[in-house]
Chains A and B, each alone.
Chain A
Amino acid sequence: MIRCPSCGSLNQDGRRLCENCGATLPQTKIRCPKCGALNPVGNIFCDQCNARLLSEEEMLPPELEEASDESHSAPAVKGISLPTRTSQGQETEDEAERLPDWLLDLSGDIEASEGEDSIEEKDVGGAAEYPDWLLANAAGLGTERSESSEEEETEETELEEEAEPLLFSESELPDWLSAAQSLAKTEDVEDAEGESDVDALGLEDELLFDAAAEEPGAGDEAPELQPEEASRLDADVPEWLIALSDQDLEEDVEPETPEEEVSAAEMPAAGILAAAMEDGPVEQEGELAESAASEDVDEEAMPDWLAELEIGAASDEGIAVVGEEDEETPPALLEGPTWLEDLAEAADSEPASTVPALIGDTSGDLDEEGTEEETFATDEPVPDWLRDLDLSTAERAQAQAPDSEGLARAELPAWLQELAPPDAEAVLRGEEGTSEAEGLTPADLPDWVKALRPEPRKEGEMPRRRDIFVTPAEPEGPLEGLPGVLPAVSLVDMPSDIRLSTRAEMPETVQAQAKLWQQLLEEPRSRERPIVQQRATGAPGSRPVRLFVAALVVIVIFLALWLIPEGMQLVQTAPSQVAPGIPAFVEGVDALQPGDQVVVAVEYTPAYAEEMAEIAAPILDHLKAREASVRFVSTLPEGGGLGKLLARRAQIDARVFGEGYLPGNANGIAAFMETSEGQAARHLIVLTSAPERLRWWIERNRLAPGAGDAAGVPVSVGVSAAAAPLVTPYLESSDVQGWVAGLYQAQAYRELRAGGAATGQAGDYARVIDVLMLGHWLLAALLFLALLYNLAAGRKGGR
């Protein structure tokens, strides 16, 4: 599994992108056998030293490219179910990705260590996955081949590319038989001129069921040896083997029918195999014959199929004969034992798989008792030597093959081996007592590590998510049972010069922000913050214009107040036309009975006291005339004082509720409306220059207790000229009975009460209104001149 460096999820080996987040996964690299640099899988030459990463034998010759494609398109040879090395570059890359890293490194190490002899290189490089005993046979074979001519070697090399699975088939054969095959090949090379090694190796090809693979129908049925074919094969069998075979058959089994011969072939020649393994590889035919003859194997007769195999290997003519029959029925399959037939059937029925499943997924199955043999015999036809390479069965591999130690040690890179303690080799060999003898004691796990040890799941309980996606629990050692402790990413490919750094890479913007925050935090608290004061500055030459305009307005207004005679009345007002809310206001006040309580809300600041006082004056005069009981309230602290000022100017006996202050803004209004003073009010007059405070009063009055469907207490409004445009929707709604906006309408209110005639005090206000109207005209003229000036200046600036 490959752990994603971005999100941490686990991905299948060989994945380039994370299945969870899509991030690029760390890929398996190829270590250069020369300089040790890590290269991408697709590289043929090293990026560092330009050395060849893949041996030339692993590259497909151009002339065989088409044939190789056909062989790949056809069902792969899986009779023996060994990894078949492909010769095409792309296939090599795919195989490198599929194969585990440790296996690739192992292959590379072997190639680097044995590189002088080309034939040995090819064999060893190709046999990096083979056990040592098989490598030894392969070396002997290569030595014999070196004696042939260079041309033959080249041709042989090319042809062996196709016949390379022979090595795997040899791995399934006992040593004595491999030696016999070596002798057969040697004889073929020396004696059979003009005949290619394809013929010499034809028998082995038959063993690999190539013909059966190309013709699936031929291998589906269990082949039976016909009597004619058996007799023809007998003619090709060497005498020594015939003699041995006849002797065995006479003493043990006398097959009368071909079926009985096949059954006899299924019997293992245990004695012969054991003797051959003790003697080791036989290099000469005579020695083989002597060895076979000297063995006391009368009781363990060699089966016929083995004898015929030997015949086919030793006789060139026999090879030709067998080769002809190959197209119809694989002779090897015919003579093969039952287990070989089973493997052939499995090869026909299962898809191609270059990597044994036991390396990855089925290792656990191998540990299960009672299923191992069955698995290898039927579903997973994997030889023992490859089973020994399985890491999960390392102990068994050590017990069975001492050379597996070297394999296990070869899985580690050189830089990792250097870091190994002195007694690491002893530990690898299983001599665990060595470390204890040197005083090393088992590691004491801290409590927090022990706390991570998962509790065994109960029967039927579903595995937790963490148990599924986290690295499986350690099978042995002090961390036994702890999942997720060791990283899932293989460390074999980690470069030797890697430096782990805890410093996170931060963008410059983040670093700048962090630096700024640090500076702010380290800034002394007593340090005064700079106050940016930007004074309004006009354009050059604007001050004289401003002074001129101000002086002009002040002088004109002042002179108007002096020069306009009383009763001139520049503005002839028509109250009913200019102020539609005034008549309703007047009618509402007129409807009051003497003694009725009227609440007057003073909701303006002292800045508007001058204007609001002139607006409130006619209203308070009206209330005084109606002998109403006035109560001043305000949500502003200064409202009470302004209310008292109004009462004094109007010369009315008014009271100020709670000193006129209702804290809490809208809440204070709501609380006041619930009091006896609020519920006793017959009319509500709001004097305000702030639109929001008028809204509060209108809203709270509608929601006042006892209002019901009615609009509450009748509300009249006196509003400043500045706030009038903003509260016009409220003034024109049904919630407001009447309103007075600005000084002009206040004067209209007076005139309406007086029946359209200006009284004495109203005449003074009439002159003020005239001056105000004059000021409006003056300001309008100035604004128009300013507009013209700006237009002219704009044109000039545009030029």
Chain B
Amino acid sequence: MGDLVTLIVGAVVTLMIFSYLLGDNVLYRWALALLAGSAAGYALGVAVRFVLNEWILQALVGQPGTEGLIYAVPLLLGSLLLLKGFSPTRSLGRISVIGNIPLGYLVGVGAGVAVSGAVLGTLIPQVLATGEAVQIDAGVLGIIQGVIIALGTILTLLYFSTTAREREDDIESRSTGARLIRGTGRFFLVFALGAAFSGALTSGLTAMVLRLWQLADLVSRLIAPFGG
């Protein structure tokens, strides 16, 4: 019975989302607000229950002596971060500046981690993978594929490096090689974006098919008692 109720609620909300085909309406907005609100509420509940209650407060209380005081640091920083909720134009807006301390800490640590991870985990492996794509013993098709991958990577990067503010009278002044690099790099970029769009379309179509499949399953269950 629980699954049936869940299936019915899901079908109704799906139809409310589909109502956007008729234009922007209250049903669509209500379903959209339900999705966003439930996600935010769930995230808040998880943060309060598990992060704040189980991790920090229990660590502060449960640790013997002063060992638990180290958990007061994230608690303090998190509390200061709440001060950012005050609008700077309000009367208590000045105290929102204090929230910049944990915010700066978060941004700084995040940037440091991102830089190290991007260099060691992304940039170098991608360069190596691009180089490994060209293999002599991979056959003709393998070589062509590797060359296309390498050229696509390089030309796409060169497209961004040669991107300058265009003027109507400046386009013709570019050299033929530069225009060829730009055009090829843009082709690969558009091709990649097209593939991304196709993936998004596939995901959306998959979600719709699965939703309609569940609706069909619901209809089958509903008409089954009547001999369907």
Contacts and interface: CB of A to CB of B under 8 A. Distances in A.
Interface of A: 525, 535-536, 543, 546-547, 550-551, 553-554, 557-558, 561-562, 605-608, 610-611, 614, 636-638, 640-641, 658-659, 661, 663, 665-667, 670, 689, 695-696, 698-700, 702-703, 720-726, 729, 732-735, 742-743, 768, 771-772, 775-776, 779
Given A637-B42, A733-B125, A768-B213, A721 B117 contact: no
Given A606-B39, A667-B113, A699-B122, A611 B21 contact: no
27 contacts: A525-B89, A554-B208, A557-B208, A557-B212, A607-B35, A611-B207, A611-B210, A637-B43, A637-B47, A638-B39, A640-B50, A663-B51, A666-B110, A667-B109, A689-B203, A699-B120, A700-B121, A702-B121, A720-B199, A721-B202, A722-B196, A724-B199, A726-B199, A729-B126, A742-B202, A768-B209, A779-B201
Interface string B114-126: 1011101110011
Nearest to A535: B24
Contact of A637 (B24, B46, B209): B46
Given A561-B212, A699-B122, A725-B199, A666 B114 contact: yes
Contacts of B199: 720-726, 742
B211 interface: yes
B49 A659 contact: yes
The range of chain B's interface size is 35 or more
B154 interface: no
A667 B116 CA distance: 12
B103 to A, nearest CB: 14
Contacts of A663: 47, 51
A729 B200 CA distance: 18
Given A554-B18, A637-B46, A742 B126 contact: no
A640 B49 CA distance: 13
Given A535-B24, A607-B35, A725-B195, A661 B201 contact: no
Closest CB pairs A-B (n = 5): A699-B121, A637-B43, A699-B117, A722-B203, A721-B202
A343 B90 CA distance: 86
Given A550-B21, A611-B210, A638-B39, A670 B113 contact: yes
B76 interface: no
B54 to A, nearest CB: 8
A561 B215 CA distance: 10
A605 B39 contact: yes
Contacts of B121: 695, 698-700, 702-703, 735
A558 B46 contact: no
A703 B129 contact: no
B53 to A, nearest CB: 11
Given A698-B121, A726-B196, A732-B129, A638 B216 contact: no
Nearest to A776: B205
Nearest to B195: A725
B202 A722 contact: yes
A251 B213 CA distance: 151
A670 B120 CA distance: 14
A722 B210 contact: no
Contacts of B129: 729, 732-734
B126 A638 contact: no
B9 interface: no
Contacts of A666: 110, 113-114, 117
B21 A547 contact: yes
A11 B46 CA distance: 75
Which of A553, A610, A735, A772 has its CB near the most chain B CB atoms (within 10 A)? A610
B120 A702 contact: yes
Contacts of B72: none
Contacts of B43: 636-638
Nearest to B217: A561
A543 B202 contact: no
Contacts of B177: none
A722 B38 CA distance: 23
A638 B44 CA distance: 9
B28 to A, nearest CB: 12
A637 B46 CA distance: 6
Nearest to B126: A729
A768 to B, nearest CB: 6
Given A554-B208, A703-B116, 10 more contacts: A550-B21, A637-B43, A658-B50, A659-B50, A695-B122, A720-B199, A725-B196, A725-B198, A726-B196, A733-B129
Contacts of B39: 605-606, 638
